[in-house]
Each structure stands twice: as C-alpha cells, then as structure tokens.
C-alpha cells in the first residue's frame, strides 16, 4: 500500500487474536505495521507478528518485486514487531540490520541473529540515495531499546509503539483512518505504555521540534492531518492532565456491591458529574484502567473475600500500582458478611499510591439496601 512515492505500508490487520499479549481484548482487531522506504537502497522498518509470515512476505514482494531489501531497521524488539527478522534475513541474506546497541542482544536472544548488524548512535544518519534515515532513542517507550526513525525528506517519523492504538486499520483508509481514535488509543496507552509517562514526555520533547508531518506507528493508522490532536492526546495521557470525573470500578459476587456501585453512579449523575461505571467481573480491567488515565477521581468497590479484597478488584488495584498511577481522589466501598476487611485494605493500597482518600469508606453487612448504604456520603464530598 502506497503512503507516498517513497514510503509503502507492508503491515497487516489481525482480526483473529482475541487477547493482545494474551491479556488485552481487541474486539475490533489490531494492526502490525511495517514500512518500506524505497529509494536507490531499500529499508524495511520493523517486521510483524509470527503468524503473518506469508502475508508479510507477499506484501513486500507486491511493493518491490524482485528488488532486494538492503536494510532492516529495528526500532523495537517486542515480538509483535520482531518475530519475522530471521525470516527476512533468510529471504534477503545480504540485508543489514540497523539498530542501537541495546537491541543487539535481544536480536540474538529472540531471533538468533548475530552477524551483519550495523549499530547506530543517537542522531546518526543512513543514506538510502535521495532519502535519509536518522535515529533517535526513545528508551522505555516502551522497552529500553526503542527508537524513532526519522526521514527528513518525507517529514515522517516511524515512531514504534508511540502514537499507536488498538483497532484494525480500516481497509483502504490507512491515513488518519480511525476518526474516533481516542478511546482505543487511551486503552492501548493505559494497558501497555502507561507505566512510562515520564519517558513518553521526554520522547515528545525530543521529536516535537523535528517538524513532523507524518507519523507511522507500529499499531493503528498513519497520522497526517490528525497529528496535532494525536500529539495533544498523548501529551495529556503521559502528563496525567486529568479531567474532572469519576471512574467507579467494582467487583461483586452476589450483586450487593454492584447495587452500591449503581447507587453511587446514580447519585453522581444526579449531581451532573461525569461517571464511568466498570464491572471488573464482566469486562477486562483495561477499560477501567483507561478511564483512570482520564479522570481525577476513582471509587473502588469490593466485597470482603477470604478476609481480603475480591480477586478481580485486587488485580485491578495491582495494575494501577504497577503503572505508578498516583494523585487521584479516592474512596472505597463494599459489602461483607461477618467481618468487613475490603474497604480497609483498599484504603491501604490507595495510601501506597499517594491517592487522596476523600472518605474513610462505606461498607455494609450482608444484603444491600438504601437504608444501610448512603451513597451521598461519598458523593457530597466530591462536589
Ligand atoms: Fe507493539 Fe511494544 O510492541
């Protein structure tokens, strides 16, 4: 697929995988993007996932016929982009791998390739004829070896996972192809890159002055006219510029904590506050996680289970901790039968994450009733 005379798309959509990384649902698919820069020399930028070997090779042949690939640029070594490096080397034995020093042991470890590797440094350039590639390190976006490849003549940044999003790329609509990208970009960011907000900010500072007119990420559409919006959205996510609003995330065994969650949500709606309600037993926690990256308040509900937090809720809280999420307004609630522990333990986790606990927490014994659980006790403190 032609992006410009010099740049061709040779990636593909994956509509079969149910869980990306075996953990994140991708109901609308995901794409693995790979690009060719075609000049006197030809460079391939990243590869694709192992299952797509035949489609990948066929896409390449369709673009360059019998010409050879001179360089394989490795921006990122996660296997959704690196799994076909040995296949490329086998097909194009003379192609030189171009990457940075941190990727070299990973290339050996994952692909068993050790020879004909050109190690480049920050800012170094590689000429393809009339076209140049230049390399900028963006470590921890989201592995230590990640880098951006910049093509100044095309004003194009091959950005790796940065600016990527879930969802297959709509057929025939590769450039700016997902109009409502924010939801799935946020869930992608929160699930995969969310731990590394500071390094994403550093990367944004590094690439902003380049004068980028096209972004070619490894997932989702190529960005052109939407660049200001995409940059702004990434800046917002990585700098934790939060909107006023409430994420309610809860788990419930027999529906009592669920009823309490719904009561809080209703009360918030009545007061005109934005509220996002997530049942952690019915949906993957990435959906709640995405809203935590957008809104300034988090309310978490859990019944007491084995004198602890209900496991789906515990997993969600651990996911927040693992991503270094902090500085949210927080409250906990939940039911118990004979000894209430969940609220106390949720508050302890919130304290570890430097959340501001706005209420000591509301718990109730056995079945839910509006008499036992006064949602406005929490909601009134949030206004
Ligand atoms: Fe899409 Fe970090 O790999």
pLDDT mean by block of 10 residues, the chain; 383 residues: 96 96 96 98 98 98 98 97 98 98 98 98 97 95 93 96 92 85 94 90 89 95 93 92 97 98 97 97 98 98 98 98 95 97 98 96 97 94 85
Residues 308 and 342: their CA atoms lie apart, in Å, by 6
Q: How many residues in the chain?
A: 383
Residues 327 and 241: their CA atoms lie apart, in Å, by 11
Residues 334 and 242: their CA atoms lie apart, in Å, by 26
> Which atom from ligand 1 is nearest to the alpha carbon of 193?
2
Q: Write the residue with the smallest CA distance to atom 3 of ligand 1.
A: 78
Helix (H, G, I), strand (E, B) or coil at 366: coil
Nearest C-alpha neighbor of 230 from the set 291, 195, 293, 186 = 186
Rg (C-alpha) for the chain, rounded Å, is: 24
Residues 180 and 276: their CA atoms lie apart, in Å, by 18
Residues 18 and 98: their CA atoms lie apart, in Å, by 33
Distance 240 CA to ligand 1 centre (A): 22
> Which atom from ligand 1 is nearest to the alpha carbon of 142?
2
Q: Write the residue with the smallest CA distance to atom 2 of ligand 1.
A: 78
Which regions of the chain carry the CATH code 3.40.50.360? Answer: 243-379
Which regions of the chain carry the CATH code 3.60.15.10? Answer: 7-238
Distance 180 CA to ligand 1 centre (A): 21
What's the CATH code, domain 7-238?
3.60.15.10
Q: What pLDDT was estimated at residue 154?
A: 97
Q: In the structure encoding, which two tokens stand for residue 173, read together?
A: 């609509």
Kindly state if the Cβ of 142 falls inside 6 Å of ligand 1: yes
Nearest C-alpha neighbor of 285 from the set 265, 310, 254, 305 = 310
Q: Specify the fold of 243-379.
A: Rossmann fold (3.40.50)
Q: What pLDDT was estimated at residue 172?
A: 80
Kindly state if the Cβ of 161 falls inside 6 Å of ligand 1: yes
Kindly state if the Cβ of 81 falls inside 6 Å of ligand 1: yes
Q: Is it true that the peptide bond before 142 is cis, omega within 30 degrees of 0?
A: yes
Distance 247 CA to ligand 1 centre (A): 27
Kindly state if the Cβ of 80 falls inside 6 Å of ligand 1: yes
DSSP secondary-structure letter at 56? H
Residues 142 and 139: their CA atoms lie apart, in Å, by 7
Distance 259 CA to ligand 1 centre (A): 38
Rounded to the nearest 10 degrees, the angle between the axes of helix 227-238 and helix 197-207 is: 150
Distance 300 CA to ligand 1 centre (A): 30
> Which atom from ligand 1 is nearest to the alpha carbon of 143?
2
> Which atom from ligand 1 is nearest to the alpha carbon of 218?
1
Kindly state if the Cβ of 76 falls inside 6 Å of ligand 1: yes
Residues 304 and 311: their CA atoms lie apart, in Å, by 10
Has this prediction a pTM greater than 0.85?
Answer: yes
Q: What pLDDT was estimated at residue 14?
A: 97
Residues whose CB falls within 8 Å of the CB of residue 197, separated by 6 or more in sequence, listed in order: 237, 238, 239, 240, 324
Kindly state if the Cβ of 218 falls inside 6 Å of ligand 1: yes
Distance 365 CA to ligand 1 centre (A): 45
Distance 162 CA to ligand 1 centre (A): 9
> Which atom from ligand 1 is nearest to the alpha carbon of 192?
2
Residues 377 and 3: their CA atoms lie apart, in Å, by 56
């Amino acid at each position: 697929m032609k992006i410009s005379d010099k740049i061709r798309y040779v990636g593909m959509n994956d509509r079969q995988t149910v869980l990306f990384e075996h953990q994140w649902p991708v109901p609308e698919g995901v794409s693995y993007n790979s690009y060719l820069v075609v000049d006197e020399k030809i460079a391939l930028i990243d590869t694709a996932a192992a299952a797509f070997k035949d489609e990948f090779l066929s896409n390449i042949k369709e673009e360059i016929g019998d010409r050879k690939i001179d360089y394989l640029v490795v921006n990122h070594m996660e296997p959704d982009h690196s799994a076909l490096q040995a296949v490329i080397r086998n097909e194009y034995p003379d192609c030189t791998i171009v990457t940075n020093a941190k990727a070299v042991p990973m290339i050996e470890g994952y692909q068993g390739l050790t020879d004909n590797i050109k190690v480049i440094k920050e800012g170094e350039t590689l000429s393809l004829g009339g076209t140049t590639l230049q390399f900028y390190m963006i470590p921890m976006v989201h592995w230590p070896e990640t880098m951006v490849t910049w093509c100044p003549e095309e004003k194009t940044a091959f950005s790796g996972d940065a600016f990527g999003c879930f969802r297959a790329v709509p057929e025939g609509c590769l450039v700016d192809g997902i109009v409502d990208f924010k939801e799935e970009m946020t869930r992608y960011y929160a699930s995969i890159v969310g731990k590394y907000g500071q390094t994403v900010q550093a990367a944004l500072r590094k690439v902003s002055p380049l004068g980028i007119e096209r972004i070619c990420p490894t997932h989702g559409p190529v960005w052109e006219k939407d660049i200001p919006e995409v940059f702004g959205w990434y800046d917002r996510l990585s700098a934790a510029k939060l909107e006023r609003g409430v994420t309610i995330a809860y788990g419930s065994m027999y529906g009592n904590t669920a009823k309490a969650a719904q009561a809080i949500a209703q009360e918030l709606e009545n007061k005109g506050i934005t509220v996002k309600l997530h049942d952690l037993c019915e949906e993957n926690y990435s959906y709640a996680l995405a809203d935590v990256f957008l809104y300034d308040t988090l309310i978490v509900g859990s019944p007491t289970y084995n004198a602890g937090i209900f496991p789906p809720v515990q997993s969600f809280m651990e996911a927040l901790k693992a991503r270094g999420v902090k500085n949210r307004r927080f409250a906990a609630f939940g039911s118990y039968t004979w000894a209430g522990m969940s609220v106390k333990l949720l508050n302890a986790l919130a304290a570890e994450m430097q959340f501001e606990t706005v209420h000591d927490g509301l718990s109730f014994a056995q079945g839910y009733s509006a008499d036992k659980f006064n949602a406005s006790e929490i909601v009134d403190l949030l206004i």
